[in-house]
Amino acid sequence: MQFALALNEYDVLKHQPHPPGYILYVVLGRIVNAWLHDPTASYVALAVAFSGLTTFVVYYLARAVYDRTTALAAAALLAVSPLFWFYSSVGLTYAGEALFASTVAYFGFRALNGSRSDAYLAAWYLGIAGGMRQSLLVLLFPLWIGCVALGVRRLRVVLVGLGILTASVLTWFVPMIWLTGGLERYVAASAEIRSSSRSARSRQRASWPSGMFGAGAGPPGSGSCSAGRSRRSSSTRSCTSGKRATS
């Protein structure tokens, strides 16, 4: 629903979509929606396209790392994976995330083998991947910097790559801030969702003792252990009483 609303009005403060923004995904959705005129079908079409492209990228990645047989097996296993099929049929960002992550890994591996041009391409795709899902920047940046540092081993390449990465991030970050109405509104939206997430987790933790185990109860198994100890204590007292009566 939030992604569908963003097709008409992009505003992170209104959670259209929710922070951190996913602006590249929304822009691609708008392009497809101009043709299909159906938000749900547009995002599903994107997921299908992303998943198909991911299969090819995984093939080339596995072929670069291993061999053709392994690449065919990897692509085939991915293509028939039920979980991959599921995310390929829903209008969410996960299929696009798989595509960009695989692409960055492919060029990153080639950079690990000493290719400067692939180091720059990996940096560019990593920056663009943040527009699809911002968490990719945090997760894949160590991969990129590690491949370049160990493979190319030139400070100049690292610095140029960082410049390319920054430029590619700005291509979507600046429009996202502008459409949201400024950096202050964007930061406020991000702070709001962090606060609501913390409150939800706190309420969930507070409800565990009463909601999951019952009022006054402990974790699973503690009640049965206590009952077992009570039965053992009762049996011990009964045996002691019997001995005393006999004597």
Token pair belonging to 88: 């390929």
pLDDT of residue 99: 95
46 contacts: CB under 8 Å, gap ≥ 6: 25, 28, 29, 32, 91, 95, 96
pLDDT of residue 194: 62
Residue 204 pLDDT greater than 60, yes or no: no
CA-angle at 52, arms to 46 and 55, nearest 5° = 140
Question: pTM of the entire structure?
Answer: 0.75
Domain ranges of the chain: 2-187
Rounded distance, CA 130 to CA 153, Å? 25
Rounded distance, CA 25 to CA 95, Å? 11
Rounded distance, CA 1 to CA 90, Å? 12
Which helix (H) or strand (E) segment holds residue 44: the answer is: helix 39-65
Question: What confidence tens digit (pLDDT) does each residue in 29-88 have?
Answer: 999 999 998 989 999 999 999 999 999 999 999 999 999 999 999 999 999 999 998 988
pLDDT of residue 172: 93
pLDDT of residue 213: 46
CA atoms within 13 A on the CB side of 87: 17
Q: Rounded to a whole number, what is the largest CA-CA distance in the chain?
A: 97
pLDDT band at 202 (very low <50, low <70, confident <90, very high): low
* Sign of the alpha-carbon torsion through 131, 135, 140, 145: positive
Beta carbons of 64 and 103 less than 8 angstroms apart: no
Mean pLDDT of 145-152: 94
Q: How far apart are the first and last CA of the chain?
A: 80
> What is the residue-averaged pLDDT of the chain?
82
Q: What is the CA radius of gyration of the chain?
A: 27
pLDDT of residue 193: 66
Mean pLDDT of 88-107: 92
> Which amino acid appears at position 110 of this protein?
R
Residue 14 pLDDT greater than 90, yes or no: no
Residue 154 pLDDT greater than 60, yes or no: yes
pLDDT of residue 182: 84
pLDDT band at 198 (very low <50, low <70, confident <90, very high): low
Residue 223 pLDDT greater than 80, yes or no: no
